[in-house]
Amino acid sequence: MRTLKTVTALQKHLNECRKAGQTIGFVPTMGALHSGHLSLIDASKKQADTTVCSIFVNPTQFNEQSDFTKYPRHTAADQAKLEAAATEVLFLPSLSEIYPNGTEQSQPFDFGYLTQPMEGAHRPGHFDGMAQVVHRLLEIVQPDFLYMGQKDYQQFLIVQKMIELSGFTTKIVRCPIVRERHGLAMSSRNERLSPKDREHAAWISRTLTKAVSKGKFKALDVASVEAWAIAQLKKVGGIEVEYFEMVDAQTLQKVEHFGDAEQIIACTAVRIGDVRLIDNMFVK
Ligand code: AMP
């Protein structure tokens, strides 16, 4: 695996790959890699000739300074995992490589309603920073394929829209959520959970599973299932629910009945202590 730290070195190498007729798959991450990230690398390895993984903890997408400071950083361990997964290129840029003119965003995108509910409502500015860094990374890497996890479903939809708005030819690929043994969606933030917190956190996916089956059965309206799920999560000690919403999976608009949209997804965010966790499941 080549570890490249500058845009110039990366682009020189990728131009050679392209000249040799290779396609490029790209997996952007913030590091502290786990099996969820590695499933994206696997998807890229299966489809593209050269896989580039980036590790960059992007300051502009953190709406809480403490979350940025506490975000786990394990570069040496990450490098070993990527090497073991036979990743061809690790891009490990500094802040000034990504933002040579400073972190101020000249022209934020207009994503319409997609950035308003759920994560948008609870993390002001988060999606502007996320779209800013993914746009910059796509400009640098110019991949044929971009692999992103369903775990961050709203993010996936926004990046899909950003690609469309920017006219990039990159194809975005959505990869399924990888979970721990008891169902907790893998996340770099999970390492900050105590054993007791982890027991509590297992109720997130349990509740989602039950809510989804209630939705499939269509016995209740959407608001009643949401209210049931929030009550269920609140019963678990130590969990503070930020939202639990079952929405149209294309537009993220609220739906009243489970028959109202072609695809419906249940999305939730909770806090356990000072750790914020998100998860989702498709109802249909
Ligand atoms: P992050 O490092 O958290 O920014 O995540 C980098 C990419 O990995 C994003 O596309 C995430 O959606 C994806 N990802 C994170 N956790 C998981 C997971 N448990 N399963 C699948 N993909 C994931």
pLDDT above 90 as % of the chain? 94
Question: Which residues touch 130 (CB under 8 Å, ≥6 apart)?
Answer: 58, 61, 155, 158, 159
Which residue in this structure is represented by tokens 């130590």? 238
Q: Are 252 and 115 in contact (CB under 8 A)?
A: no
Taking phi first (over 0 means left), then psi (-120 to 50 degrees means alpha), and beta for anything else, what does residue 238 get? left
Question: From the CB of 129, is ligand 1 less than 6 Å away?
Answer: no
Q: Is the pLDDT of residue 193 over 90?
A: yes
Q: Which atom of ligand 1 is nearest to the CA of 149?
A: 12
Q: Which atom of ligand 1 is nearest to the CA of 186?
A: 19
The residues annotated with a catalytic role in the active site are 37
Ligand 1, atom 17: closest residue by C-alpha: 36
Give how far Cα 107 sits from Cα of 128, 135, 137, Å: 10, 12, 16
Residue 27 carries which side chain, given as an amino acid letter? V
Question: From the CB of 36, is ligand 1 less than 6 Å away?
Answer: yes
Q: How far is the CA of 143 from the centre of ligand 1 (A)?
A: 18
Q: How far is the CA of 41 from the centre of ligand 1 (A)?
A: 11
Question: From the CB of 177, is ligand 1 less than 6 Å away?
Answer: yes
Q: Which atom of ligand 1 is nearest to the CA of 185?
A: 19
Q: Among 53, 152, 277, which residue has the most ligand 1 atoms within 8 Å of its CB, making it the best to mutate?
A: 152
Q: Is the pLDDT of residue 219 over 80?
A: no
Q: How far is the CA of 56 from the centre of ligand 1 (A)?
A: 13
The three-state DSSP-derived secondary structure of 40-73 is HHHHHHHHCCEEEEEECCCHHHCCCHHHHHHCCC
Q: What is the model's pTM?
A: 0.97
As to burial, measured by CB atoms within 10 angstroms (0-12 exposed, 13-18 middle, 19+ buried), residue 32 is: buried
* pLDDT value for 182: 92
* pLDDT value for 237: 86
Query: How do residues 81-116 score in pLDDT, each as one tens digit?
Result: 999 999 999 999 999 999 999 999 877 899 999 999
Give how far Cα 225 sits from Cα of 36, 58, 185, 231, Å: 28, 36, 21, 10
Q: Are 81 and 33 in contact (CB under 8 A)?
A: yes
Residues 195-213: what's their mean pLDDT?
97
Question: From the CB of 50, is ligand 1 less than 6 Å away?
Answer: no
Question: From the CB of 131, is ligand 1 less than 6 Å away?
Answer: no
Position with higher pLDDT, 78 vs 219: 78
Q: Are 36 and 149 in contact (CB under 8 A)?
A: yes
Q: Are 74 and 215 in contact (CB under 8 A)?
A: no
Least confident of 145-159, 207-221, 252-266: 207-221
Residues 178-204: what's their mean pLDDT?
96
Question: From the CB of 93, is ligand 1 less than 6 Å away?
Answer: no
Query: How do residues 121-171 score in pLDDT, each as one tens digit?
Result: 999 999 999 999 999 999 999 999 999 999 999 999 999 999 999 999 999
Q: What are phi and psi of 265, to 5 degrees?
A: -125, 140
pLDDT above 70 as % of the chain? 100
Alpha helix locations (H) across the chain?
Answer: 7-19, 35-47, 65-70, 75-84, 95-98, 119-122, 126-141, 153-166, 195-217, 222-235
Residue 33, classed as helix, strand or coil, is: coil
Question: From the CB of 205, is ligand 1 less than 6 Å away?
Answer: no
